[in-house]
Chains A and B, each alone.
Chain A
Amino acid sequence: MAANPQDITELVRSRNVYSAGFITDIESDKVPPGLSEDVIRLISAKKEEPQWLLDFRLKAYRRWLKMTEPKWAHVEFAPIDYQSISYYSQPKSMKDGPKSLADVDPKLLETYSKLGIPLREQEMLAGVQNVAVDVVFDSVSVATTFKSKLREAGVIFCPLSEAVASHPELVQKYLGSVVPFGDNFYAALNSAVFTEGSFVFIPKGVRCPMELSTYFRINERNTGQFERTLIICEEGASVSYLEGCTAPQRDENQLHAAVVELVALDDAVIKYSTVQNWYPGDEEGRGGIYNFVTKRGDCRGPRSKISWTQVETGSAITWKYPSCILRGDDSVGEFYSVALTNHRQQADTGTKMIHVGKNTKSTIISKGIAAGHGQQSYRGLVRVLESATGARNYTQCDSLLIGSHCGAHTFPYTEVRNPSARLEHEATTSKIAEDQLYYCRARGIGEEEAVGMIVNGFCKDVFKELPMEFAVEAQKLLAVSLEGAVG
């Protein structure tokens, strides 16, 4: 909350950097649509950022201007007008800056309670859930819980903007070190305009004493959300992190272009789980989130391990490939994914496993479910470099089709430059068999429940990788997302 106590309008006015037009609009707490160096300077100023971060943003922006959107994904959408998006939005009641949970707008709390997020510390202290939550509402982090308990363990878990102020040396060292500012079109855009996100630092030898969790939520109309998450595990440290996303129903499409960077040093373990339930658009394909995300983990030290688990049920369009760079010898990368597309949803998702170190191992388990007119693509790359003697990969991609208007596609790529590498790939596509449904119904189970049960069975290998309470949530989400998929 570092930026909030001061009246930003006053701040900017006194600096007299921006045009009058901007100043009027600042009072509405939302930057007017459009992207320019001025807007980036404004965001940076609002967040009271150091010069090096502004420079990072501007470099990324200048690179982005020269880039074009990737066209290779198996998705279709109308061109995005980047000048019609507002790049910064702050709920009005946040203007004076809540000092504690008691000051937070009850409506915000209500929103989170509807989402089932245990925001109030007392609830958590009562033992409801041993999870620390950092909540992001549009661009400003509302509340961070359990900070003190984590601090005792030496763990830093706070909004990224706060970390920029409190631990600039760590942020500067690691930000952009896994996903460079010019990595791809959306990552460059994010690097230029990112507004919020979480920062996690687990020092040497520390096992994070609780699951860390961030819920992101897009609320404001016509705003993009560009959060940026940075997780660092030092030597021998470990953490399990859960990201959950939801967005309310809107008729327009909204852009979400996040970047997540993970760094695992020697023997460190990072487990990153996502339950993504952005608004998928209606049955005709109106509205919904465009989720164009760059997630990458760097197994920088030997014997380190990064594990991605994702359950993707939302978004109109998903473009997402959580990846691992297996740099350290004997490091391990894992990717477990369930992606569901219903109605007119399109998903092009998968992973990249880049084997650099010796005896590196990667596992890819991808379960795609397509229903309605949903289109589902798995796209995965396994690259074994010359240096990666003894590298191993196991890939399994299964697709399940419900109905006859949906599609599932698999695009596996492999590049092997070391003859000692061993790669295994298995892929299946199946339809929910009529006889399975009939069998369940002949036992008294209704059609929708039966479909839910069969789909959950199909996803079991992935759900078992999720932390317990989130596995339950994921099953429920799948059931809700499949409503109306049969019959």
Chain B
Amino acid sequence: MLLEIKNLHARVETKEILKGLDLTVKAGEVHAIMGPNGAGKSTLSHVIAGREGYAVTDGEVLFNGKNLLELEPEARACEGIFLGFQYPVEIPGVSNITLLKAALNARRKYRGEKEIEPGDFLAWVRDRAKLVKIDPKMLSRGVNEGFSGGEKKRNEILQMLILQPTLMILDETDSGLDIDALRIVADGINTMRAPERATILVTHYQRLLDYVQPDFVHVLAGGRIVKSGGPELAKELEDKGYGWLEAA
């Protein structure tokens, strides 16, 4: 079992957002989490990644059997969790390449491995950048500095391709993308599909799921998973909206 979430309750400031959420993700699976605005989708992403200010009041989150909630955000990342941000952050003056190298070496250090050789690193980054059609010149620019919305999202996928996580959580990575960019992002995600990895796609739309076939679709509403099914559930949601589920 890669990820096990049991009866998760979490609050942001004084507001309880997650109210007894259960989710189990096995290696090799792709899960889509859909749901109306304010249902707690992003909160779930941040609770798994370990953002400060998101207080877990009950329940547990196990990753490879380890209690994830005890770990600092950086340790969770080094354990193999990757969160693709809905709103990637700009860090002026810090080049993409600097961030990538620091991130990759942090992970290697965590595992007791040596730092990557600069030559190997550059070759690896250039190779991966091609997959998401990012010009190597962009890599020496500041992290997301002056990037368009689409470039920021592709940059998230690039980071994921380079860091090779085992659990990828993509928080509305598809929102605001035109169809070409959506394809590139989907290709990046599919490249990472492997028996030892799993993906959680947090999305509003069926659109992305046309390109990345999920094994399971869950509806998150009112802080809990209210319905789970196969890919056909996403199509149903596209037709009917969420109203019929929330009413239930």
Contacts and interface: CB of A to CB of B under 8 A. Distances in A.
Interface stretch (B15-23, B102-110, B127-135): B102-110
A206 to B, nearest CB: 36
A456 interface: yes
Interface residues of A, number: 23
A442 B73 CA distance: 6
Contact of B72 (A433, A435, A441, A459): A441
A390 B143 CA distance: 38
Contacts of A445: 74, 99, 102-103, 106
Contact of B93 (A435, A439, A449, A458): A458
A435 B74 contact: no
Contacts of B50: 441-442
B110 A433 contact: no
Given A449-B102, A457-B142, A460-B93, A443 B52 contact: no
Contact of B99 (A434, A435, A443): A443
Interface in B19-50: 49-50
B73 A441 contact: yes
B159 A443 contact: yes
Nearest to B162: A443
Interface in B53-97: 72-74, 76-78, 82-83, 85, 88-94
Nearest to A434: B52
A442 B106 contact: no
A447 B52 CA distance: 12
A7 to B, nearest CB: 56
A457 B91 CA distance: 8
B89 A444 contact: no
A277 to B, nearest CB: 22
Interface in A439-469: 439-447, 449, 453-454, 456-461
A86 to B, nearest CB: 44
A436 interface: yes
B73 A438 contact: yes
Contacts of A438: 51-52, 73, 89
B92 A444 contact: no
B91 A444 contact: no
B165 to A, nearest CB: 9
Interface in B97-151: 98-99, 102-103, 106-107, 110, 142-143
B78 A439 contact: no
Contacts of A434: 52
Nearest to B104: A444
Given A434-B52, A444-B78, A439 B102 contact: no
Q: Which 8 pairs between the two chains have the least Cβ-Cβ distance?
A: A457-B93, A457-B94, A444-B77, A443-B103, A439-B89, A441-B73, A460-B93, A444-B106
Given A434-B52, A445-B102, A457-B142, 9 more contacts: A435-B89, A439-B143, A442-B51, A443-B103, A445-B106, A447-B74, A453-B91, A454-B94, A461-B93
13 contacts: A436-B89, A436-B91, A440-B102, A440-B103, A442-B49, A442-B73, A442-B82, A444-B107, A445-B99, A453-B94, A456-B94, A457-B94, A457-B142
Interface of B: 49-52, 72-74, 76-78, 82-83, 85, 88-94, 98-99, 102-103, 106-107, 110, 142-143, 159, 163
